[in-house]
Structure 1
Amino acid sequence: MAENVKKTAKEIIESYDGPKIRIMEVCGTHTHEIFRLGIRNIIPENIELISGPGCPVCVTPVGFIDEAIMLALDHNATICTFGDLVRVPGSEMNLAGARSKGAKVQIVYSPIDAYEYARDHLDEQVVFLSVGFETTTPASCLAVKKAKGAELKNFALLTANKTMPGVYKTLKNSADAFLYPGHVHAITGTELCESLVNEGVSGVITGFTANEIMTALAVVITKLQEGESFFKNCYPRVVTYEGSKAAQTIVSEVMEDCDSEWRGLGIIKNSGLKLKEAYKEFDARDKFHLGKVEGRSNPACRCGDVLQGKCKPSDCKVFGKGCTPLHPVGACMVSNEGACSAYYQYGGKING
């Protein structure tokens, strides 16, 4: 049965001969998988797949990296972070550079790892760099709850958590349809996507296997030809209408909406999350009295344009030259979900 569905999807995709359509892969993992699976090789020229802002490291602004470096060098805090963030350029240096100047930077695999590190190192002020979308935010909230319950005084979050509704609306005219990230909507459910249809936003939620992605693309192509806005959940084995109530509950208890800066997109209203007043003691900005930090991006980097679907990574003048995975100029080349990383790794610089 799966093979028949996949074959049908392939036929729909390969036989499309209508007007040009643009489909945005919101999720960086979709971008990488579409390359890795060779799906781009069967896409007709009149179907354009464009990358979007669904890479949490990529959309985190330069100023956030500067804040982390300031905490490490000026306040002697131990920074706990996912590995990708260590090499993301700040205004003057990245966290790896700060570490060479004496900063203490610990790589962790989850916010709970950071909480446990703080619990076991009471002589250090520990700050976890909390980035990500709805998928990873619940774990940060759980770490804060554990720290509060344990009356841990040396643990804090530097938050850059973001939510997807605002960015969907901001980018609604950037593509004819979205491939919505399956893992995000496993948490939030499908209600948001369904409501966006009334605002003229079309898209499908999909998973990450070849069959799931091909089916989703075939659905998009078919639905677009009908001429009306649409939504389809092509990932029903994981995504439900309600989403994860447990995850939603812990986030609503610990965090609240706030305006947030997205790299390349600027400030999007109510698209971020910050700790509520009851958990303010764990807010690194408040705890260390950080002032407003304005980051400065490298002017040669077009990461912001890539995140908006305005250009392909290979359109950037430094792509594959001054900017490579070993020597990244921008965040999109650093992250394993970044579009520039995908284009470089899978030959997009040649056939993108």
Structure 2
Amino acid sequence: MNEQAKKARDIITNYKGRPLRIMEVCGTHTHEIFRLGLRKLLPENVELISGPGCPVCVTPVGFIDEAIWLALEKGCIITTFGDLIRVPGTEMPLAGARAKGAQVRPVYSPLDAVEMARQNPDEQIVFLAVGFETTTPSACLAVETAKKEGLKNFSLLTANKTMPNAYNALEGSADAFLYPGHVNAIAGTEICEELKKRGVSGVVAGFTASELLTALAVILVNAEKGEPFFVNCYPRVVKAEGNPSARELVKRVMEPCDTEWRGLGVIPMSGMKLRDEFAEFDARKKFGMPKITGKPNPACRCGEVLQGKCKPSDCKVFGKVCTPEHPVGACMVSDEGACAAYYQYGGV
């Protein structure tokens, strides 16, 4: 352990200030904090709670139902990141639809789906575009590539989300945010500075043990001062301006829209949809999709976990009916899900 990490650890273990609730907005932070055993260092008056930082977890049930409709009713080949295949829909996950004959294929990037469209001109290829600011640029690049090549058999089913208005919805749920380094590497730090002006505190954190210890220590030191604060603790990656090229790409292809978040409901202007000039690549428009409203399993408390209102272990089905092998909710499926982290590491 380097000297900076040792100093940060001492600050954390010796903290005697007021009780604090710190929300990890990033699912990767949640898993790394567990994996590294950092929760064991926290004094009793400091609580880490999980937030809506897992893109698979915040994707609503209705989106899975839409994807299944495209596969079973329209015969589309659904391409997606692997985690989504096991996320429960109203009646079944995509894995269940595949058992009924649906074509559901995992890919590593949206450009893999574009390549599949090139190689299968008689098939309709739909990519499930799920993610925050980090992954949205790659979906936009895929659309621009398909348009440039004149591919008529490629489209997106979008569930892309942005974090700024989600922070507004979560305001008051924690004393400080542990902001996601990956998102801020693209989006920059402007929203964090704006939140500070409104009295919302937080730090941008990296993902190594030293970086996470430092970020937590910075929160504790600044919290004792009693004033709103923002500190970028990940300066080697996160710059104030973010990634201008990626942001410009998204701006060319997509525009903000209202969208539903699991547990948080519809948050105004927190989603991204394709602009009208790219409507031919919008799967909902292309296939005349009807309004589909999903119904989550009432036994699942993923929505409350994502708001920091309860811990995964507070859910009655956690670890019993709901396990990684047989997930009831999305938070148990994803590698970034809080329930999966609690299950894997026994809550500690």
Query: What TM-score, normalized by structure 2, do the two folds share?
Result: 0.99
SS in 2 for 1:54: coil
- Report the secondary structure of 1:268's partner residue: strand
Offset of 1:45 from its aligned partner?
A: 1.0
Kindly state the Cα deviation for residue 18 of structure 1 after the two structures are TM-superposed.
1.9
Structure-2 residue corresponding to 1:214: 213
Alignment of 1:116-131 (within 5 A): 116-131=115-130
> Could you list the runs of 5+ residues in structure 1 that have no partner in the other structure?
none
Question: 1:119 deviation in Å?
Answer: 1.0
1:137 aligns with 2:142: no
Q: What amino acid does structure 1 have at the position aligned with 2:161?
A: K
Q: How far apart, in 1, do the equivalents of 2:35 and 2:2 lie?
A: 19
Q: What residue number does 1:230 align with? A: 229
- Cα deviation, 1:103-131, whole Å, max 9, x if unaligned, reads 00110010111111111111110100000
Instruction: State the 1:265 CA deviation.
Output: 0.3
Output the amino acid matched with 1:20. P
Partner of 1:269: 268
Q: Report 1:62-77 matches (<5 A).
A: 62-77=61-76
> In 2, distance between residues paired with 1:192 and 1:48?
24
What residue number does 2:164 align with? 165
Letter in 1 for 2:7: T
Identity within the alignment, %: 68
Aligned to 2:16: 17
Partner of 1:332: 331
Deviation at 1:257, TM superposition (A): 0.2
CA-to-aligned-CA distance 1:141-179 (integer Å, 9 cap, x gap): 000000000000000000000000001111010000000
Distance 1:340 1:243 in 2: 30
The aligned residue for residue 156 of structure 1 is 155
Q: Normalising by the residue count of structure 1, what TM-score does the alignment of the two structures yield?
A: 0.98
- Structure 2 stretches of 5 or more lacking a match? none
Instruction: Return the letter of the residue paired with 1:152.
Output: L
Per the alignment, residue 60 of structure 1 pairs with: 59
Match of 2:85 in 1: 86
Shift of 1:299: 0.3
How far, CA to CA, are the matches of 1:18 and 1:248 in structure 2?
40
Corresponding letter in the other structure for 1:272: G
Q: Secondary structure at the match of 2:104?
A: strand
Deviations, residues 259-305 of structure 1 (Å, cap 9, x unaligned) = 01000000000000000001000000000111211100000000000
Q: CA deviation at 1:191?
A: 1.1
Q: What residue in structure 2 maps to residue 8 of structure 1?
A: 7
Taking the aligned partners of 1:289 and 1:242, their CA distance within structure 2 comes to 39
| Aligned-residue RMSD, C-alpha | 0.7
Distance 2:273 2:336 in 1: 24
Pair 1:193 & 2:182 matched: no
SS at match of 1:53: coil
Cα distance between partner residues in 1 of 2:110 and 2:199? 37
C-alpha separation in 2, matches of 1:17 and 1:318: 36
Letter in 1 for 2:27: G
Q: Secondary structure at the match of 2:150?
A: coil
Code of the aligned partner of 1:19: R
Task: After superposition, give the CA deviation of every residue in 1:184-237 in whole Å (9 maximum; x if it has no partner).
Answer: 000011111111111111100011000000000000001111111110000000
Q: In the alignment, residue 157 of structure 2 is paired with which amino acid?
A: L
Alignment size in residue pairs: 348
Match of 1:112 in 2: 111
Return structure 1 stretches of 4+ with deviation > 6 angstroms: none
Contact 2:18 2:224 in 1 (8 A): no
Letter in 2 for 1:146: T
In structure 1, give the amino acid aligned to 2:64: I
Mean alpha-carbon deviation: is it higher for 12-21 or for 229-238? 12-21
In the alignment, the residues of structure 2 paired with residue 209 and residue 98 of structure 1 have an alpha-carbon distance, to the nearest angstrom, of 39
Show CA shifts across 1:23-71 (max 9, x none).
0000000000000001011111110000000000000000000000000
Query: In 1, Cα distance between the equivalents of 2:58 and 2:118?
Result: 30
Q: Distance in 1 between matches of 2:69 and 2:32?
A: 36
Distance 1:160 1:200 in 2: 30
**In the aligned structure 1, how far is the partner of 2:338 from the partner of 2:71?**
29
- Which residue is 1:322 aligned to? 321
- Bigger Cα displacement from structure 2, 268-277 vs 116-125: 116-125
In 1, the alpha carbon distance for the partners of 2:128 and 2:118 equals 17
CA displacement at 1:17 relative to structure 2: 1.6
Q: Does 1:307 align with 2:329?
A: no
Distance 1:39 1:177 in 2: 17
Specify the alignment match of 1:294 in structure 2. 293
The answer to whether the 8 Å contact 2:322/2:329 transfers is yes
2: CA distance, partners of 1:80 / 1:347:
33
**CA–CA distance in 2 between the matches of 1:188 and 1:23?**
22
